Amino acid sequence: MGRAVVATTTARGVPVQAELGGANAAPVLPDADIEQAAAHLAAAIAGYAGQKCTATSRVIAVGDAYRPLRAAIAKALADVELAPVINESALSRLTHAVDSARAAGAETVTGGQRIDAPGWFLEPTLLTGVPEEHPLLTEEFFGPLAVLLPAADLDQAITRANSSPQSLATSVHTQDLDLALTAVDRPDAGMIRVNAPSTGVDFHLPFGGAKAAIHGPANRAPPRCSSSPPSEPSRCRPAEHPGDHAQRASEGRSPIP
């Protein structure tokens, strides 16, 4: 839908900013508080049934973090409040993705089944052993579903995190400040959080993704324009700071109209 909006508006010469989703990754380092990280990841995977553009869909466990994190996420996902996906076709897309991954050799850590109840519910799901060529590693499926991946070290974790063509948000989990500062400087993502769910939003910051996750500039204060038609963009200027008028007056200049 986002690509359709972009195609229609750009064909008419209309400026547009579009957020196009993301297969968001979350590297977890061995020194992380595993229980806390698992709680944050479970909320980011399955909160709102995973139907958030910033939801985590790839968890990357570095080194010795893999085994304890696998068990902790499986436990934490059981505590997430269930919510339905948007419609029957969404549920079918998700169950097909799980079934095709299993058929290709993936293992279900937890979940993976449609819930036998009124509505479109999928158990919060964590898979491991998903083949490299499977779409779950590169595409957004918009549901309570994530893949757990191993990484030998931080370098490999960042390489895996950056392997998706769509990267909107990521979260890095570690108790080492030096590692955190190193890690947040390297992912291709529009928003990077440390020891927090990827689904949080900092409203005071520009918001946008990287690579195919975004079309146009990141969300920010729009330019302030006069009433001129769009054919005269030179009459647009950035939004003013509240002190601009006072500054101009102190310099003996006319206020900006």
Tens digits of residue pLDDT in 154-202: 999 999 998 877 778 889 999 999 888 887 777 777 788 899 998 876 6
> Region 91-108: what's the mean pLDDT?
97
**Gap between the Cα atoms of 24 and 136, Å rounded:** 11
Contact 48, 83 (CB under 8 A): yes
CA distance 170 to 10: 29
Q: What Cα–Cα distance (Å) separates residue 195 from each residue in 34, 58, 74? A: 10, 16, 18
> What whole-number distance in Å separates Cα of residue 141 and Cα of residue 21?
9
Token digits of residue 244: 């601009």
More confident: 217 or 34:
34
Distance CA 52, CA 143 (A): 8
Does residue 106 carry a pLDDT above 90?
A: yes
Amino acid making up residue 126: L
Going by their DSSP bridges, the two strands 166-167 and 210-211 should be labelled as antiparallel
Share of the chain residues as helix, strand and coil, in percent rounded to the nearest 5: 35, 20, 45
Residue 211: burial class (beta carbons within 10 Å; 0-12, 13-18, 19+): middle
Are 255 and 249 contacting, i.e. CB atoms less than 8 angstroms apart? yes
87 vs 233, more confident: 87
Q: What is the mean pLDDT of the chain?
A: 82
Give residue 61's pLDDT: 98
Q: For 81-124, give the secondary structure using H, E and C.
A: CCCCCCCHHHHHHHHHHHHHHHHCCCEEEECCCECCCCCCCECC
DSSP 207: B
Instruction: Record the tokens describing residue 132, joined without a space.
Output: 């490299």
pLDDT of residue 181: 87
Q: How far apart are CA 227 and CA 127, in angstroms?
A: 54
pLDDT at 256: 37
Of 53, 101, 137, 192, catalytic: 53
- Chain length of the chain: 257
53 assigned to active site: yes
Residue-level pLDDT at 163:
85
Residue closest to 184 by CA, chosen among 196, 194, 174:
194
Instruction: Give CA separation, 235 vs 17, 230, 240, 241, 254, in Å.
Output: 20, 9, 14, 18, 18
